[in-house]
């Protein structure tokens, strides 16, 4: 991990990768997102984005019970498609184990390049929740803030194979003190002297999650490949980020006694 701070350092934003999307979804019907051969580029570097299907199964009741919806692509309004609420969910590569149907989960043998992000509100807005491979038996197993039990829309997250790097800036438009992080989780920005104000940033490799508080707690913010000139660009009302981690190919988290494994 490389971590540096510079005063009055500016970064010229380069071209960015943007996630592809599919606007269809349906109850008990999957909408397949195909990105075979798609490419993304950052400056002079390019990445071939392979296809690995990741599915999400959303349940109306806790512990994977009740009506459910299986998706492979964006859904901007779950209620409009017939699912009134999401009380539990499962993310898996390949066939999903839907408990009410008695199906078995069969993980893919190779790493998947997609995770999911859920949103508090319709149209992919509001507080966001990064959903990695695993089972989430009730709402507080995916919500770090403990103040939001709603999930109204979802979309896949694009992963890349570029060298992981994220640059944090104290001021907007890449001004002020700078901190560069490569391939390591940061449980507390304070320990590196950066305090908690991150007003702009640029991701040139990897997919990252910023958290409002130390120890990966509080509101979550997803940082995909690209330039973010203002904290509003990642959906924050204030420039407060106090911890940071990268979504990795092999990652295990423990939260409230519930283990989530991402392969």
| Segment 51-107, tens digit of pLDDT | 445 689 999 999 999 999 999 889 999 999 899 899 999 998 644 334 433 444 444
What is the average per-residue pLDDT within 243-263? 52
Q: Look at residues 158, 176, 204 and tell me which one is the last residue of a structural domain.
A: 158
Q: Which domain holds residue 108?
A: 39-158
pLDDT tens for 179-206 read 999 988 999 999 888 887 999 999 999 9
* End-of-domain residue from the set 128, 158, 188: 158
Q: Indicate if 125 and 141 belong to the same structural domain.
A: yes
CB 56 within 8 A of CB 89: yes
Q: What's the domain count of the chain?
A: 2
pLDDT attached to residue 97 = 39
Do 242 and 211 touch, CB atoms closer than 8 A? yes
Q: What global pTM score does this model have?
A: 0.66
Same domain (yes/no): 218, 148: no
For residues 107-135, give the mean pLDDT: 77
CATH at 225: 2.60.20.10
From 97, 127, 158, give the residue that closes a domain. Answer: 158
Residues 117 and 153: beta-carbon distance below 8 Å:
no
Residues 107 and 124 placed together within one structural domain of the fold: yes
| Cα-based distances in Å from 165 to 80, 159, 178, 207, 223 | 38, 13, 13, 9, 11
| Same domain? 138 vs 53 | yes
Instruction: Say if 29 falls within a structural domain.
Output: no
Using one digit for the tens of pLDDT, what is the confidence trace for 136-163?
999 888 876 556 678 999 998 877 788 9
Altogether, the residues listed in the chain come to a count of 263
Is 19 within 8 Å of 73 (Cβ atoms)? no
Residue 208: pLDDT over 90? yes
Could you tell me if 187 and 244 lie in one domain? Answer: yes
Establish if 20 belongs to a structural domain. no
């Amino acid at each position: 991990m490389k971590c540096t701070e510079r005063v009055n350092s500016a970064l010229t934003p380069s071209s960015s990768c943007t996630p592809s999307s599919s606007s269809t979804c349906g109850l008990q019907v999957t909408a397949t997102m195909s990105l075979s051969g798609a490419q993304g580029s950052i400056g002079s570097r390019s990445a071939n984005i392979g296809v690995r299907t990741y599915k999400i199964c959303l349940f109306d009741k806790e512990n994977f019970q009740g009506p459910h919806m299986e998706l492979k692509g964006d859904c901007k309004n779950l209620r409009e498609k017939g699912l009134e609420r999401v009380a539990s969910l499962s993310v898996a590569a390949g066939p999903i184990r839907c408990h009410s149907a008695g199906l078995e989960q069969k993980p893919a043998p190779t790493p998947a390049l997609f995770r999911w992000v859920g949103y508090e509100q319709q149209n992919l807005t509001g507080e966001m929740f990064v959903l990695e491979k695993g089972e989430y038996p009730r709402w507080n197993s995916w919500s770090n803030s403990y103040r939001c039990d709603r999930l109204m829309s979802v979309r896949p997250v694009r992963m890349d194979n570029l060298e992981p790097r994220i640059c944090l800036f104290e001021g907007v438009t890449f001004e002020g003190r700078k901190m560069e992080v490569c391939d390591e989780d940061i449980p507390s920005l304070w320990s590196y002297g950066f305090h908690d104000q991150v007003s702009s940033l640029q991701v040139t490799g990897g997919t990252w999650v910023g958290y409002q508080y130390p120890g990966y707690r509080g509101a979550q913010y997803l940082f995909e490949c690209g330039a973010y000139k203002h904290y509003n660009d990642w959906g924050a009302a204030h420039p407060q980020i106090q911890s940071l981690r990268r979504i990795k190919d092999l990652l295990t988290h423990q939260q409230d006694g519930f283990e989530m494994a991402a392969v």
